[in-house]
Amino acid sequence: MPHRTTALRLAAPVAVLALALTACGSGDDDTDADAKSPATTGATPSPSRPASGGDMAAGESATGKVAEDPGEVTYEVLAQRVDVGTEAEAAKAVADAADAKGKVLATAYLRYTHKGGPALTGGSDVHDAATVFADGRRGGVLVGAPEDAPGCEDPYDVESWKQGESHVFCETYVIPADATGVEVHWSEEDGEPYVWTFPQ
């Protein structure tokens, strides 16, 4: 498969491939998403719609509420892109290369914009509901992937987030190398997921 990535997060010590029952298998939605970026300014506004879940067009933003520590915050969420690597890169990123056979890493870039509610002073939970699917099946979590790939920010380093400000957080999952489409899912708590599809 051709190399299709601009930035894979392989700089950390060897990561561990999480082989959860939901990984690359059940096709369930992402209500049990695992928690997982420089601040962006001057970004071109994108179309958005109220919270309800469903398929999203390229460049279309979702709007949803998240219960944060100081109170409920409304976010505009946009899956910008997904970078997909090679099997060789996946093998180097996991503890046991055999776990990565026939797999590649997919890193999703999501932009979150604080649209309403209190300013945050101690981190955010907005990224917790983001997951990566391939051909309708949830990918495997890459535990230990660094959060600071080019264009990404570690969500736990964001200690001040005011209304109008945006941050890009990334999620890295392990997906089948022969996947024809990668999906990024994000949802409000107990809500239906918004789904952005990126053909491969």
Distance CA 147, CA 127 (A): 12
As a whole number, mean pLDDT of residues 18-47 equals: 40
Exposed/middle/buried for residue 105 (C-beta within 10 Å: 0-12, 13-18, 19+): buried
pLDDT at 31 over 50: no
What whole-number distance in Å separates Cα of residue 149 and Cα of residue 93?
14
pLDDT, one tens digit per residue, over 144-179 is 776 667 899 988 888 899 999 999 999 999 999 999
**Least trusted range by pLDDT, from 38-42, 51-55, 58-62:** 38-42
Contacts of 69-73 with CB under 8 Å at 24 or more apart are 69/120, 69/122, 69/123, 70/118, 70/119, 70/120, 70/121, 71/117, 71/118, 72/117, 73/114, 73/116, 73/117, 73/118, 73/120, 73/124, 73/126
Token readout for 90 is 């996946």
Mean pLDDT of the region 19-47: 40
Q: What is the per-residue pLDDT for 47?
A: 56
Entry pTM: 0.76
Helix (H) or strand (E) holding 87: helix 87-93
> Which 3 state secondary structure label does DSSP give 43?
coil
From residue 143, give the alpha-carbon distance in Å to each of 9, 13, 16, 66, 131. Answer: 11, 11, 5, 24, 13
